[in-house]
Amino acid sequence: MHTIPQRQSIPQASQAAVVDRRIEKTVPLVTPLALHDELPLSDSLARTVVDGRQAVADVLNGVDDRLLVVVGPCSVHDAKAALEYAERLRPVAERLSDGLLVVMRVYFEKPRSTLGWKGLINDPGLDGSGDVNRGLRTARHLLLQVLELGLPVGCEFLDPITPQYIADLVGWGAIGARTVESQVHRQLSSGLSMPVGMKNRPDGSISTAVDAIKAASVPHVFTGIDHDGAPAILHTRGNPDCHLVLRGSDGGPNYDAESVAGAQELLRKAGLAERVVVDSSHGNSRKDHRRQPVVAGEIGAQVAAGNRAVVGVMLESFLTEGRQDLDPTRELTYGQSITDACMGWETTEAVLENLRDAVVARRG
Ligand SMILES: O=C[C@H](O)[C@H](O)COP(=O)(O)O
Ligand SMILES: C=C(OP(=O)(O)O)C(=O)O
């Protein structure tokens, strides 16, 4: 535990009354540089990251006519199970690579509607102890292992500090439905080195995500930390590879052809590229994992019918289907989500095959 230092500018007698009244304690955080030194990115893995980002950008820009598929667990809570998933995904990604560019969802940060586990970086012990140093270490280690298999990785960025620790490993980024309106996240996206998907808001607003794409496309200046962990003023270049992710809403889905056409119209009016990634989970499946294959099937049908605006699909999938509650009184089922329900492995493989066939049909 770290004691909170006295501030010289406030008379000592007044400090206790005004400073950090609701901070229980502060704990030193490892610096990005120290973590990078401990878990370095080799030249060959850096090539995997760069190639992955370029491949994603090529699909987004229509240079590559394959479909981007971001597939994997809703959240990683057990690095061993996530790595086993990656080991299964790798040969399938290779086999279907004529039609699909597969990026593994390796999500460590969970935005909550109200309360709940906030992900492996925030709470790797799954017990509220909040050992963020361990969380960052575990996350970086796992990302390196997945890259070692040759798979590009996708992460949601939620906390504005954590990208300095892991973003060098990420091929595709997401800004979630709950933060897409936030200036902090739009500024952050403008400086991220990879393509970033902006989700529509939970209430269904797509124009908010379109605004986010515009905002993130230009340079910004904001405060953050540098690689040494020191406070810094960050001047970004702007990110031209941001794009829309349709994830449905509390009110219903938005993956149907009419909704996709409506989204294209909004993008066109905003002067942005008409490219859309469709999330088969969340509002589009009403969080029922058994609906994801149906949604993915309908997206595949649009692709097979020639729709070129749909450039990608997101799937939530894990080793074991469904979800489970985080209950300290019982052992967790291996390879099953503790956040949103996921498709199981066999279903996932079949869904991926169908999506590949859809791409082949679109070429036909
Ligand atoms: O993807 C995960 C969840 O949908 C997201 O974190 C919100 O979850 P919640 O509504 O259960 O908090
Ligand atoms: C939180 C997620 O999605 P959304 O922001 O669409 O709810 C997610 O993809 O993990």
Instruction: Spell out the SS3 assignment of the chain.
Output: CECCCCCCCCCHHHHHHHCCCCCCCECCCCCHHHHHHHCCCCHHHHHHHHHHHHHHHHHHCCCCCCEEEEEECCCCCCHHHHHHHHHHHHHHHHHCCCCEEEEEECCCCCCCCCCCCCCCCCCCCCCCCCCHHHHHHHHHHHHHHHHHCCCCEEEECCCCCCHHHHHHHCCEEEECCCCCCCHHHHHHHHHCCCCEEEECCCCCCCHHHHHHHHHHCCCCEEEEECCCCCEEEEECCCCCCEEEEECCECCECCCCHHHHHHHHHHHHHCCCCCCEEEECCHHHCCCCHHHHHHHHHHHHHHHHCCCCCEEEEEEEECCCCEECCCCCCCCCCCCCECCCCEECHHHHHHHHHHHHHHHHHHHC
| Confidence tier at 7 by pLDDT (50, 70, 90) | confident
Q: Give the pLDDT of residue 237.
A: 98
Q: Give the pLDDT of residue 328.
A: 87
62-118 pLDDT per residue, tens: 999 999 999 999 999 999 999 999 999 999 999 999 999 999 999 999 999 999 999
Q: 199 in ligand 2 pocket by Cβ < 6 Å?
A: yes
Q: Rounded to the nearest whole angstrom, what is the distance from the C-alpha of residue 78 to the centroid of ligand 1?
A: 18
Pick the ligand that lies closest to the CA of residue 112: 1
167-177 pLDDT per residue, tens: 999 999 999 99
Q: 44 in ligand 1 pocket by Cβ < 6 Å?
A: no
Q: 326 in ligand 1 pocket by Cβ < 6 Å?
A: no
Identity of the residue numbered 282: H
Q: What is the pTM of this model?
A: 0.97
Q: Rounded to the nearest whole angstrom, what is the distance from the C-alpha of residue 42 to the centroid of ligand 2?
A: 31
190-209 pLDDT per residue, tens: 999 999 999 999 999 999 99
Q: What atom in ligand 2 is closest to the CA of residue 75?
A: 10
Identity of the residue numbered 34: A
Place of tokens 């709950």: 178
Q: Give the pLDDT of residue 16.
A: 85
Domain encompassing residue 238 = 35-363
| Average confidence (pLDDT) over 305-325 | 98
Pick the ligand that lies closest to the CA of residue 110: 1
In a domain, 6, yes or no: no
Nearest alpha carbon to residue 78 among 322, 339, 330, 282: 339
Q: 181 in ligand 2 pocket by Cβ < 6 Å?
A: no
CB 146 within 8 A of CB 86: yes
Count up the domains in the chain and report the number: 1
Going by alpha carbons, the residue nearest to atom 2 of ligand 1 is 340
CB 143 within 8 A of CB 162: no
In a domain, 315, yes or no: yes
| Whether the predicted pLDDT of 1 surpasses 60 | no
In a domain, 20, yes or no: no
In a domain, 358, yes or no: yes
The CATH number of the domain holding residue 209 is 3.20.20.70
Q: Rounded to the nearest whole angstrom, what is the distance from the C-alpha of residue 110 to the centroid of ligand 1?
A: 7
Q: 248 in ligand 2 pocket by Cβ < 6 Å?
A: no
Q: 118 in ligand 2 pocket by Cβ < 6 Å?
A: no
Q: What is the mean pLDDT of the chain?
A: 97
In a domain, 270, yes or no: yes
**Which percentage of the chain shows pLDDT scores above 70?**
99
Return the best residue to mutate from 178, 182, 286, 339 for the ligand 2 pocket (most ligand atoms within 8 A of CB): 178
Q: Give the pLDDT of residue 4.
A: 62
Q: Give the pLDDT of residue 10.
A: 77
Q: 150 in ligand 2 pocket by Cβ < 6 Å?
A: no
137-147 pLDDT per residue, tens: 999 999 999 99
ipTM of the complex: 0.98
| Confidence tier at 9 by pLDDT (50, 70, 90) | confident
In a domain, 159, yes or no: yes
Identity of the residue numbered 276: V
In a domain, 121, yes or no: yes
In a domain, 22, yes or no: no
| Average confidence (pLDDT) over 256-283 | 98
Going by alpha carbons, the residue nearest to atom 3 of ligand 2 is 176
Task: Count CB neighbours of 22 within 10 A.
Answer: 4
33-66 pLDDT per residue, tens: 999 999 999 999 999 999 999 999 999 999 999 9
